[in-house]
Amino acid sequence: MHVFQPLPLDLFELNPFTKLNKEWAIVTAGTKKEANPMTVSWGGLGTLWNKSVITIYIRESRYTKEYLDKNDFFSLSFLPNENRNALSVCGSVSGKDCDKWEESGLTLNSRLGIPFPDESSLVFLCKKLACIPMTSDTFTDNEINKKFYENGDYHYMYIGEIMDAMAR
Ligand SMILES: Cc1cc2nc3c(=O)[nH]c(=O)nc-3n(C[C@H](O)[C@H](O)[C@H](O)COP(=O)(O)O)c2cc1C
């Protein structure tokens, strides 16, 4: 397993518009023994309720949602570019159908009992604070509803407090 160093949040320099959208990231939810890694490219890092938070958007149909709902913590991790294929796998197959660790070649690691892929270069360990459902009533612009949710598979906003960030 790799050795990770703690990284104070005030030392961060990252572009919030490209970091997730271009690099992609892995959300890992579950326990240190059993967890499911899923690729995300929508989300945000910021401040809410006087806390440093990460927001992720998870559709109802994702297996990851079951793990997020059952557990109080999750991680958001960025991986070196050589793992792009593993991110594609974790973004196209479901943990409902297979073991995504085996399928992607990623390795389950954990800290403070919170699971994350050992191949990560940067990991945010988060404590779940809120899960906010989107519904057809959520949107002030109905085009969004039509464009993204025609099949009724709405996103849930999960807001997590960043407990720890670490890098290698
Ligand atoms: C680049 C990329 C970004 C994605 N971003 C999200 C996202 O932000 N939210 C989401 O619900 N699904 C997203 N997905 C789709 C899930 O990763 C995909 O459906 C995955 O197979 C679900 O896995 P699970 O069922 O094991 O949770 C993304 C897929 C890719 C390839």
Which pLDDT tens digit goes with each residue over 114-128? Answer: 999 999 999 999 999
| Per-residue pLDDT at 76 | 98
**Protein residue with its CA nearest to atom 6 in ligand 1:** 40
pTM across the whole model: 0.97
The span from the CA of 108 to the CA of 118, in Å, is 6
Q: Which of 34, 41, 96 has most ligand 1 atoms within 8 Å of CB, for mutation?
A: 41
| Per-residue pLDDT at 103 | 98
Longest dimension (CA), the chain: 47
5-167 placed in CATH 2.30.110.10: yes
The CA distances from residue 91 to 39, 84, 152, 160, in Å, are 5, 11, 20, 21
Which of the residues in the chain have pLDDT under 50? Answer: none
Q: Helices (DSSP H) in 3-137: which residue ranges?
A: 19-23, 63-70, 84-90, 100-104
The half-sphere exposure of 153 on its side-chain side, counting CA atoms within 13 A, is: 11
**Protein residue with its CA nearest to atom 1 in ligand 1:** 41
Residue 3: what are its φ and ψ, rounded to 5°? -100, 125
Contact 67, 36 (CB under 8 A): yes
| Per-residue pLDDT at 104 | 98
| Per-residue pLDDT at 94 | 98
